[in-house]
Amino acid sequence: MSDFQWIENGSVTATPGFLASGVTAGFKRSGAPDFAMIFSETPCNFSGAFTSCTFAAAPVQLCKNRVLNAPFIRAAVINSGNANACTGHTGLANAQRTAELAAVRLGITPDEVVVSSTGRIGVQMPMDLIAHGIDLGAAALSADGGENAVKAIMTTDTVPKAAAVKLELQGKTVTIGAMTKGAGMIDPGMKVPHATMLCYITTDVKADNALLAEMLTSNVNDSFNRITVDGDMSTNDTTIIMANGLSGVELKSGTPDAAAFRNALLAVMQNLARRMVLDGEGATKFVTVKIEKARSEADAKVLAESVANSLLCKTAWFGGDPNWGRVVAALGYSGAEFDPDKTNIWYDDQPVVRDGGDAGTPETSLLGIMKQREFTIRIEMNEGSAGYWVWTCDVSYEYVKINADYHT
């Protein structure tokens, strides 16, 4: 039995004290909503995790600076349709100007604003649209605006993705709300400083920035960093958590309450990560790749990701082909060291490979598994005790069409 409850139609505004909006600023030629804002009525402790791509977008660079230097934030501004990536000093200035414009409109300081962008890379940000979006978005902020906000950050997503939970701590109700976007260019490798996927999380606990960073680090590694749609890491991947403290519940590192909160937060993040894979561009299959008994977790991770990102495996899954030869090939070129004669593989509960060779299961028994919307490929290396899992999907004709045609 879980220690938390899911909130029906939950979003970032399920958390008391947070307002949000989603409006049309004019970034998308379709006229769809493309500009979101989140605003806290009180200052928030916060942390963030960001892409490890060397070509990190200007908004990512601004947000990293906030995490390193700002004690609190109160607002997030997110546009969809322009990534503001590979835009040089002008792009950085425009990201900062976005924070300044939002701060003036909201009556706060620029350092209390974080900025995210998603869309086409290499195009300078049209600041007239940013200013227009801020005016519209600030005017539309409301306590039930989370649903509009999540719709406004979508690009090739086919469905909005938001969730919220509540739990009891110290005799009081605590809430966690979140929204995310991402369907393609998904293979996050986010780090707390030191998609495109964007995720914003709100909560009403009180926790210092260091504790939020600690929780975000471990939970990102067990959620968003475990998914891959196409093996392409974005320039803009961002996860931000904002904690306004309004519940009156203060968390301290190492306490049972902090552990309970972390588990609920992980459930929200894994829920959204899973839904991102299910909504992968053109995806028809959700596949769990699970490595067991590897020499090290590093080896297990390399092995799992090699299979999960193999185009030959992904196209076989789309075609319902149980061709396990593509799986062993991906294991073999992964770079991990292992004895192939010790390898065992299962599709769900059906043995496919035993001791490195055909397990003898009739192909007809495997075809039904491959036709399922979801299945698991479990791989036993018999080299040690380490393991790792990844959530991924197939590659279909639609994926090629979307990415051949896509601009914004």
| Contact predicate 120/83, CB 8 Å | yes
Neighbours of 333 (CB within 10 A): 9
pLDDT at 186: 46
Same domain, 172 and 221: yes
Same domain, 273 and 343: no
Query: What is the residue-averaged pLDDT of the chain?
Result: 93
Look at residue 191 in the predicted model and tell me its pLDDT: 52
Confidence of residue 66 (pLDDT cuts 50, 70, 90): very high
Q: Could you give the CA distance from residue 215 to residue 21 in angstroms, rounded to a whole number?
A: 27
CA 207 – CA 38 distance, rounded (Å):
19
Residues 209 and 325 in one domain: no
| Whether the Cβ atoms of residue 83 and residue 119 lie closer than 8 Å to each other | yes
**What average pLDDT does this structure show over 334-360?**
97
Same domain, 354 and 256: no
Check whether residue 116 and residue 233 sit in a common domain: yes
370 and 306 within one domain:
yes
Same domain, 264 and 291: no
Marked catalytic residue, from 196, 238, 239, 343: 196
Angle between helices 311-319 and 325-332 (to 10 degrees): 160
- Averaged pLDDT for residues 93-102: 98
Q: What is the pLDDT of residue 404?
A: 77
pLDDT at 24: 97
Lowest-confidence segment of 143-147, 190-194, 265-269, 302-306 by average pLDDT = 190-194
Residues 269 and 294 in one domain: no
Query: What's the pLDDT score for residue 195?
Result: 41
Do 236 and 310 lie in one domain? The reply is: no
Q: Over 80: is that where the pLDDT of 231 sits?
A: no
- Band the pLDDT of 155: cuts 50, 70, 90: confident
User: Residue 372's pLDDT is what?
Assistant: 96
Q: Is the pLDDT of residue 338 over 90?
A: yes
Domain stops at, among 246, 278, 310 = 278
- The Cα-based distances of 231 to 79, 148, 278, 392 in angstroms read 24, 29, 15, 10
Residues 166-220 pLDDT 10s: 999 999 999 999 999 875 554 455 555 544 679 999 999 999 999 999 999 999 9
Strand stretches in 159-197, DSSP E: 161-169, 172-181
366-385 tens-digit pLDDT: 999 999 999 999 999 999 99
What mean pLDDT is predicted for residues 81-108? Answer: 97
Domain that holds residue 96: 4-278
pLDDT for 196 equals: 62
The whole-number pLDDT of residue 172 equals: 97
pLDDT of 129 higher than 50 = yes
Alpha carbon 297 to chain centroid, angstroms: 22
Residue 15 is a catalytic residue? no
- Same structural domain for residues 212 and 68? yes
Domains: count for the chain: 2
Among 254, 278, 302, residue at a domain's last position: 278
CATH of the domain at 101: 3.60.70.12
pLDDT at 175: 98
| pLDDT tens figures, 275-301 | 999 888 788 999 999 999 999 999 999
- 214 lies in the same domain as 325: no
pLDDT for 234 equals 76
Letter for the amino acid at 101? L
- 129 and 41 belong to one structural domain: yes
CATH number, domain at 350? 3.10.20.340
pLDDT of residue 194: 40
Q: Which among 278, 310, 337 is the end of a domain? A: 278
pTM of the predicted protein model: 0.93
Percent of the chain with pLDDT over 70: 95
Residue 347: pLDDT over 50: yes
Report, as an integer, the average pLDDT of 37-64.
93
